[in-house]
Amino acid sequence: GLELMKQVGEETGVPIEVYDRYTHMTRVVDLIKQAEEAGGI
């Protein structure tokens, strides 16, 4: 599943970041905040 998502992103040129179930939610929230501050969301 995760590898397929990475491949789809590469094939379509859409930037996709894929994380597994072991990635802590606090890390995900931090990534979202950084993207918002950079104007990416």
Instruction: Chunk the chain into consecutive blocks of 10 residues (it has 41) and report each block's average pLDDT, rounded to whole numbers.
Output: 93 90 91 89 70
Q: What residues does each domain of the chain span?
A: 2-37
* Model pLDDT, residue 29: 92
* pTM summary value: 0.53
CA dist 11 and 24 (Å) reads 28
Dig out the tokens for 9 from the structure: 């992103």
The owner of tokens 């950079």 is: 38
